[in-house]
Structure 1
């Protein structure tokens, strides 16, 4: 089983108890169609720092980042399309999507709340709100697109922080800037490519070379909730 399959399964398990069933199905459908790149980046960041790290203890952090991204990405899509502006079945679907976005973000944050990435997760969510507010007054399409892509940049940085801190390290600013810049290459209006296309060999090499500003591995904290 590869990391993307594990990340998807962990994310699904986190929302498997959501009621009513119709809402749960919306969540499952979103996760089934989603690129697992953010979740896999968490795992790759940890194993890049310490190749002996087991994947299983990282999956809560992986799911946390993935769920936050999916929730904010859905929120961004709803904010752009404003489906509630029309009356009918689509308005009902939009209401369900709003609930789904809230669940995804809240469950994702719950998984990261007691980790070293919790502060970064809060700031990622707050920054998204600020960016979408600023987007309304942005003068050009390029400005709006740049604000939208901040989400992917912040999520990639959050994923790296969640992964590296899981094995007792601290990501360097150079690495955080590198993955943020890589994320900005993707169009915020379309889905991320599959994890395998995002986590290229050069990026994995970068993760192993620049995961820490320190001198070597320290005690792992992957056992934390």
Structure 2
């Protein structure tokens, strides 16, 4: 799947100037092992909105990488917050991972800063911080799922706006349901069915009575 390769190249390029080398290697190791589903969903969304062949220019792959980097940084932050490796764990590794998470999120913001998805990216991080604060005080683990919901919506927004399409409410709802079904670890499964469903929902007139409702997989 060419989308996977395109996202990985763009994500690695976005951190290529990080120093020192050993710190950059820690970041690239994480990106090399990541499933890249949010970034791929961004490209699939753009292709669906364009209703034509994918054109993975630097602007589009940069958006996809931005979504992916933000997600990688926040998932790492979430793990560190919940596992608390500073309490009896490898404190040095944890300190490095916090820096890795900061770099990932900041580079992701940079890539999306001048796009129509910039505000949505800010909302993702703001919601994440709120959810994790509430989770810590209440123990409500279900709040963790909000990150995947928010990142899927961000991916779709970043993708369709790259094609000049305004995200419709049904498009955002579909993105949320993709996350509710479980963000796939294998980005390869984001194939034709998902693309068709996204493409249908770029139409402002789409509704539950649409003849295209069968695209709701």
Task: Report the TM-score when normalising by structure 1.
Answer: 0.86
Structure 2 CA distance for aligned equivalents of residues 35 and 212 of structure 1 = 30
State whether structure 2 residue 209 is matched by structure 1 residue 207. Answer: no
Aligned twin of 1:67: 69
For residues 74-98 of structure 1, give each alpha carbon's deviation from its aligned partner in whole angstroms, at most 9, with x where no partner exists.
Answer: 00010010001126xx110000000
Runs of 4+ in structure 1 off by over 4 angstroms are none
**1:14-93 maps to which residues of 2 (within 5 A)?**
14-50=14-50, 51-57=52-58, 58-86=60-88, 90-93=90-93
Q: CA deviation at 1:184?
A: 2.3
Name the Cα RMSD after superposition. 1.7
The alignment of Structure 1 onto Structure 2 pairs a total of residues equal to: 204
State whether structure 2 residue 172 is matched by structure 1 residue 170. Answer: no
Q: CA deviation at 1:174?
A: 1.1
Task: Give the secondary structure class of the aligned counterpart of 1:152.
Answer: helix
Q: Structure 1 stretches of 5 or more lacking a match? A: 216-225
Q: Structure 2 stretches of 5 or more lacking a match? A: 207-217
Structure 2 CA distance for aligned equivalents of residues 166 and 115 of structure 1 = 8
Task: Report the TM-score when normalising by structure 2.
Answer: 0.89
State whether structure 2 residue 143 is matched by structure 1 residue 147. Answer: yes
Structure 2 CA distance for aligned equivalents of residues 176 and 71 of structure 1 = 23
For residues 21-54 of structure 1, give each alpha carbon's deviation from its aligned partner in whole angstroms, at most 9, with x where no partner exists.
Answer: 1210111111011111111111111110112451
* Cα contact 1:11–1:64 (8 A) shared by 2: yes
For residues 151-187 of structure 1, give each alpha carbon's deviation from its aligned partner in whole angstroms, at most 9, with x where no partner exists.
Answer: 0110000000001001110111111111112212328
